[in-house]
Structure 1
Amino acid sequence: MPDGKRPEEDARAVVNFWGEEPATEAEYYAAHGAEGESSYFAAPGGGRLFTRAWRPRGGAAPRGLVFMVHGYGNDISWTFQSTAVCLASSGFACFAADLPGHGRSHGLRAFVPDLNSAIADLLAFFRSVRRREEHAGLPGFLFGESMGGAICLLIHLRTPPEEWAGAVLVAPMCKISDRIRPRWPIPQILTFIARFAPTLAIVPTADLIKKSVKVPAKRLIAARNPMRYSGRPRLGTAVELLRVTDELAARLGDVTIPFLVLHGSADEVTDPAISRVLYGAAASKDKTIKIYDGMQHSMLFGEPEENIERVRADILAWLNERCTPEAAT
């Protein structure tokens, strides 16, 4: 743990910021109808992934499994887990891991020079969870925010089509938005320099919190995350994200997984137009798109509470429909 901070302090810090009574992580979960734990997973690549699980309270059997992937620079222990707690309280067992170079997982902060290796580590963790006896027969869904949405699609494209019951893609980074993508010839120059100094954090970028989080008070909460990476992107990471998103953009027609894609019309970090392209190009027979007028990139934290509840309700309705006995036949 880079800062010596105990994982259970994360929930307490968020709760206290809003002026509520101090709470342990377990008390925070229980108050919201969930329970959970954290641990480390030995990744096949040699490092360790910090992982979390959130389940329905009281040992209730889950209706399905949700495997969650966070976005670039983020982690699973601050605001991200509020969605997992909501899903757990609604009957789903949720699992997530800090990506390599993020949160409490191994690697230099925000340095992801090989996303294929990171995906292999993440997939190994997800499959280890699915193999547990108590999870036999339960549908497994992918869930990704921003870069995590792109990773979910790449997981789908690298695994058998029957492995996943569906995917929830929240403002997915299927392509770097032209509004934040460096102009020519900067990408070409950065790619060249990255061959010699991939860890240099010099890539110009906008203030992502300001562009992502609409509510000013919530911007302060996001900025206080001790695990959040707030520096400039590293050369190797930026080049890899450009490569992977270019690959993904070229393979949208190969997508066959059932999916729900959600995007805010005012998103300036990932492009809602690309989500529309995904919806139109995907070969999936079961696909749904929802574009929320005026919402920004952080739809599950940074918006006013009524907007967040609207998005959560749409996600839960979609998941519930695919966990019915009819959906399993």
Structure 2
Amino acid sequence: MPFHNPIWEVLEPHLVRMGLYKVQDPTYGRYLLPNHPPHLTLVEDPTVSHNYRRVFLPPTTSFKTYHEAWDTTQIIHAENVNLVKDELASSVKWGGRWVTYSTWEMTSPPEGGWEGAGRGVGKDLVLVHGLGDYGLRYAPHIKFFLKSGFRVIVLDLPSYGRSTGINSYLPSLLLLPSAVHVVLTDLAQNDIANGRKQKKVFLSGASMGGWTILYYLLKYPPTNNAEEVVTQESTADMPLPEGGKGYDGLERSQADEKVRPQVAGAFVLCPMVEVSKESRPNIILEYIGRAIVFFGGSLPLAKSVRGNVSDDPRVEEDFFADPLCYHGMLRVGTGLACLEGMTELEKRAHEIDVPIRLVHGNKDRATSHKGTLRLFDRLPNDDKELEIYDGYEHVMLRLGSNEEDDKPRQKVLEDMRSWLLQRC
């Protein structure tokens, strides 16, 4: 099981910075955990192939400032992995900081042929998870898209799943779009090296994953040339500016960021653009958090969305049964980083210029659909759509207990696949 000792998690980063301690397992016990049993249906499916990779970034201590470390997209090494113990030991020579992702695709056309007339064949769908989760929490839904020909890519964001970092400790949300960038860059590099032609890329994310892809889209300039993306992978990022965009003037202009692959469309579910009143921490807790964040950022302090994601008790039962999920309270630094990230996204929403569809439930008690409505109005692309699902809560892809109970999930999946296939 992952180990969570709040006092140690507060002290450890300071000891590491002073050179008094060296982290033995930078995933804090998560890397070698077995798959959650319900996910084995996908993992062991003989008609589906999958591959794990990890992408190494320069260690945090190699940067002059934390902001530079959080915002880096420099890849120093990447490799296929089997999630075995030797890989933890070998990670030391590359600095011990990485993002893990996996790719999933059908080994051959499904019996009866490709669904959706096979329009998804050769296209990539990247799924980005939310707060407390990790990539393979999408496992129950992945094959739905594989059967239409999509290759599905799921990543574990920094501090989640089999990626490195204290579980669910995000001192800055800039860690997230940069992780998406390095994964898509490595994906392109690996494809080119293996003779795979680059085709359309679609993005989808829920909750914090929704914030992540929205910010990724506005932060990095697009290109249709995959080789241009790949040539930048090992180069350092441009120096941080004085008086730049966002984050206290420390963000580069888009022209100074590395290029990203052209994105054919984004399907965003219940994005974290505004916290619902039911989940916003007490203002006193927020003041306490701001007072202690510089020395106690990893301290678990607030309840956050716990108990507010679904009225179906099976949702949280499954969440707590999965050892790779984060089961603790919201950490001080993570909570404040989320507030900061939502503020920065609001400032720059007009820069998100891709075909996009936003969906949100009007009974969401974690993220507010009203924030999504306001965001939608500021998006400049002509190909934009919005739907507020009546009666839906935060977990819009809740697995039903039977065929009838599963209809709400199927409706969202059909909506998503239909929208994607129309743009393939």
What is the TM-score normalised by the length of structure 1? 0.85
How far off is 1:52 after superposition? 1.3
1:82 aligns with 2:140: yes
| Identity between Structure 1 and Structure 2 (%) | 25
Q: Which amino acid aligns with 1:37?
A: N
Distance 1:3 1:130, change over 3 A: closer
Q: Partner of 1:243 in structure 2? A: 340
1:312 aligns with 2:418: no
Tell me how many residue pairs correspond in the alignment. 307
Q: Which amino acid aligns with 1:49?
A: V
160-169 or 101-110: bigger deviation: 160-169
Map 1:61-100 to 2 at 5 A: 62-77=121-136, 79-100=137-158
How far off is 1:59 after superposition? 7.5
1:154 aligns with 2:215: yes
1:174 aligns with 2:235: no
1:268 aligns with 2:365: yes
Q: Partner of 2:322 in structure 1? A: 225
**Deviation string for 1:48-72 (max 9, x for gaps)?**
2221111133279834111221001
What is the CA–CA distance in structure 2 between the aligned matches of 1:256 and 1:140, rounded to whole Å? 15
**Deviation string for 1:8-45 (max 9, x for gaps)?**
x33xx116xxxxxxx67543x34xx5332323222355
Distance 1:250 1:166, change over 3 A: same
Note if contact 1:130-1:136 (Cα within 8 Å) is conserved in structure 2.
no
Distance 1:161 1:122, change over 3 A: closer
172-181 or 221-230: bigger deviation: 172-181
143-152 or 117-126: bigger deviation: 117-126
| Of 54, 69, 76, the match for 1:40 | 54
**Deviation string for 1:139-175 (max 9, x for gaps)?**
1111111000000011001112452111111111012
Distance 1:85 1:285, change over 3 A: same
Note if contact 1:55-1:62 (Cα within 8 Å) is conserved in structure 2.
no
1:142 aligns with 2:203: yes
Name the SS for the 2:335 alignment partner.
helix
Question: Pairwise CA RMSD of aligned residues?
Answer: 2.3
Which is higher, the Rg of structure 1 or of structure 2?
A: 2
**Deviation string for 1:255-309 (max 9, x for gaps)?**
2111111111111101111111122121121111121111111111356310110
Q: Partner of 2:20 in structure 1? A: none
User: Mind listing any 5+ residue stretches in structure 2 that lack a counterpart?
Assistant: 1-26, 60-94, 111-119, 224-261
Name the SS for the 2:359 alignment partner.
strand
Name the SS for the 1:196 alignment partner.
helix
Q: Partner of 1:20 in structure 2? A: none
Map 1:7-22 to 2 at 5 A: 7=34, 9-10=35-36, 13-14=37-38
User: Mind listing any 5+ residue stretches in structure 1 that lack a counterpart?
Assistant: 16-22, 324-329
Distance 1:137 1:280, change over 3 A: same
What is the CA–CA distance in structure 1 between the aligned matches of 2:133 and 2:293, rounded to whole Å? 23
What is the CA–CA distance in structure 2 between the aligned matches of 1:5 and 1:320, rounded to whole Å? 36
How far off is 1:187 after superposition? 2.3
What is the CA–CA distance in structure 2 between the aligned matches of 1:3 and 1:137, rounded to whole Å? 32
What is the CA–CA distance in structure 2 between the aligned matches of 1:273 and 1:50, rounded to whole Å? 33
Q: Partner of 2:107 in structure 1? A: 57
Map 1:119-130 to 2 at 5 A: 119-130=177-188
Name the SS for the 1:95 alignment partner.
strand
Name the SS for the 1:238 alignment partner.
helix
What is the CA–CA distance in structure 2 between the aligned matches of 1:26 and 1:232, rounded to whole Å? 30
Q: Partner of 2:286 in structure 1? A: 187
What is the CA–CA distance in structure 1 between the aligned matches of 2:351 and 2:30, rounded to whole Å? 42
Q: Partner of 2:165 in structure 1? A: 107
What is the CA–CA distance in structure 1 between the aligned matches of 2:222 and 2:291, rounded to whole Å? 37
What is the CA–CA distance in structure 2 between the aligned matches of 1:235 and 1:6, rounded to whole Å? 26
Distance 1:118 1:62, change over 3 A: same
What is the TM-score normalised by the length of structure 2? 0.67
What is the CA–CA distance in structure 1 between the aligned matches of 2:312 and 2:303, rounded to whole Å? 25
Name the SS for the 2:296 alignment partner.
coil
